Structure 1
C-alpha cells in the first residue's frame, strides 16, 4: 500500500487538525455516506444511514420553523412599535380638528395605509357642521345603521371589533380621491359611549394583501380602543 497521500497536503492537514469541519458540512457528509454505501454493495441495507437521513430531514424542518418563528417575532415587534407611535401621535392632538388632520396625515403614514376615514353615524348626516365638512376626506357623516351594514354586508360577523378584508369596487365610496386604488381595508368598530350612535375607523390600502381575514387583529383592536376613548373625550 502506498504511503503517498491521496489528497492535497494542506487539505489533509486541515482535516486532521480540525475534523469537526467535515461533520458540520452537510454536502461533504452526504458525499462520504454515499461513497460508503457504494463500497458496501447493493445487497446491504444501511439502517444507520437511513436513520441519519430522517434525522437530517427533521433537523431541516426544525431550522425552517425556527427561522419562521424569529421572522414572525420581528414582524410583530415592528407592528407593535407602529401602533405605539400612532397612539402617541393621536394623544398629542390639542383639538378635535387637529385629531382628524393627524389621523389622515401622520397616523396614516405611520401605519402605512393609503386612506384613513372616520365614519360617524348621525340621524341628520346631510346637516353636519360646515367646519367639519372641510375635512371631508377624513370625516364621513353617515346615516344610522351604516356601520353595521357596511361591515357585515348582511352576514353575521359576531362581536368582532376589527374586520380585515379585500375591497370590491362598489364598496369604496367614502375613501375620497384614493377610492379607485383601494384594494383592502381594516374596519374598526367604535363604541362612542352610552346613548351615542356607533362609529367606524376605516383604513384603506392599495395592496390587496395588506389586510386579509387570516391576519391577527390584536394590535388594531388596541388601537381602536385607544381611539374610541379619545373620541369619547372630544364628544363629551
Structure 2
C-alpha cells in the first residue's frame, strides 16, 4: 500500500511538472507556426531547452549548423544595409551634382558665372571654398583678374602639374582627392589656414590653350579622401570644361 501511494504521488508529480500549454495558445501556434519560426529569441530558447534534455555528452550538429547559419544571416543583413545606404548616398550625390551643374549654367555672362562658383554652386556642393586656377602669362595685377580675385587665381605655366604631383614624376588623374594640413595660400588666399581636404579637378580647355584647375576645399578633413569615388566629380569637370570653352572662344 505504501509503495502504491509513493508511485501514485510520483506520477502526480511528473504530470504536474510537465505543465500543459494553454489550449488557445496551442491552437494559435499550430495555426500560425511561422510566428514561432520567425522569432529568433523564441527559437533560441527552444533549441537550448532541447539541448538540456539531450545531456552534456551529446554534440548537437543541427544546433551548431543553425548557429552558423544565423551568423551568416546577420552578416548578409549587415551587407544588405550597407549596400542600401551606399545606394542612397550615391543617389543623393548624383542629385547634388546635377543641381550644381544646372545652377552653374544659368548665368549668361562670364563674371556672374565665376562668382556663382564661390556662392550658390559651392553651397549646393556643400564645400567651403571653390577656386578656379588658370595658367597664364598675364599678371594677377590685371584689373579684369582682380575683379574676380575671390574665385580666380592666376599661376605661371606648369604650376598645376607641380601642384598636383608635388614635383614627382607620376601620372596625373583628372580628379585628385586628398587631405591637407593646410591649403595653399596661392590658391585659397586668407582661407588657406582652415582648409583640411580638397578635390582638384584638372581642366582641358582645348588645343593651344593652357590648362586650368577647379579646386574645391573643405574644412572637414574627411570630406575628400583618396579612397572615395571620383566619377561624379569627373562628370562635373567635363561640364565645366565645356562651359569655359564657350567663354574662352
* TM-score for both structures, normalised by structure 2: 0.88
SS of residue matched to 2:187: coil
Q: Are residue 213 (structure 1) and residue 226 (structure 2) matched?
A: yes
Structure-2 residue corresponding to 1:110: 124
Pair 8,158 (structure 1): closer, same or farther in 2 beyond 3 Å: farther
Moved over 6 A (4+): none
1:12-51 to structure 2, matched below 5 A, reads 14-51=28-65
Which shifted more, 81-90 or 131-140? Answer: 131-140
User: Do the aligned residues in 1 keep the contact of 2:183 with 2:194 (CA within 8 Å)?
Assistant: no
CA distance in 2, matches of 1:112, 1:161: 21
Using the TM superposition, give the Cα deviation of residue 207 of structure 1 relative to its aligned residue in structure 2, in angstroms.
Answer: 0.6
CA distance in 1, matches of 2:169, 2:70: 47
Using the TM superposition, give the Cα deviation of residue 21 of structure 1 relative to its aligned residue in structure 2, in angstroms.
Answer: 1.7
User: Do the aligned residues in 2 keep the contact of 1:97 with 1:132 (CA within 8 Å)?
Assistant: no
Aligned length: 235
Using the TM superposition, give the Cα deviation of residue 14 of structure 1 relative to its aligned residue in structure 2, in angstroms.
Answer: 4.4
CA distance in 1, matches of 2:22, 2:149: 77
Q: Unaligned 5+ residue runs, structure 1?
A: none
CA distance in 2, matches of 1:208, 1:134: 30
User: Do the aligned residues in 1 keep the contact of 2:165 with 2:172 (CA within 8 Å)?
Assistant: no
Q: Describe the superposition over 1:10-49 as per-residue Cα deviations: whole angstroms up to 9, x where unpaired.
A: 7556434423222111122112111211111111011111
Structure-1 residue corresponding to 2:182: 169
* TM-score for both structures, normalised by structure 1: 0.92
1:190-229 to structure 2, matched below 5 A, reads 190-229=203-242
User: Do the aligned residues in 2 keep the contact of 1:90 with 1:107 (CA within 8 Å)?
Assistant: yes
User: Do the aligned residues in 2 keep the contact of 1:86 with 1:107 (CA within 8 Å)?
Assistant: yes
User: Do the aligned residues in 2 keep the contact of 1:114 with 1:178 (CA within 8 Å)?
Assistant: no
Q: Are residue 81 (structure 1) and residue 81 (structure 2) matched?
A: no
Structure-1 residue corresponding to 2:247: 234
Q: Unaligned 5+ residue runs, structure 2?
A: 1-14
Structure-1 residue corresponding to 2:166: 153
SS of residue matched to 1:49: helix
SS of residue matched to 1:89: helix
Structure-2 residue corresponding to 1:57: 71
SS of residue matched to 1:15: helix
Counterpart among 200, 204, 224 of residue 187 in structure 1: 200
Q: Describe the superposition over 1:122-174 as per-residue Cα deviations: whole angstroms up to 9, x where unpaired.
A: 1233343x133122120001111111111110234424100000012263442
Using the TM superposition, give the Cα deviation of residue 57 of structure 1 relative to its aligned residue in structure 2, in angstroms.
Answer: 1.0
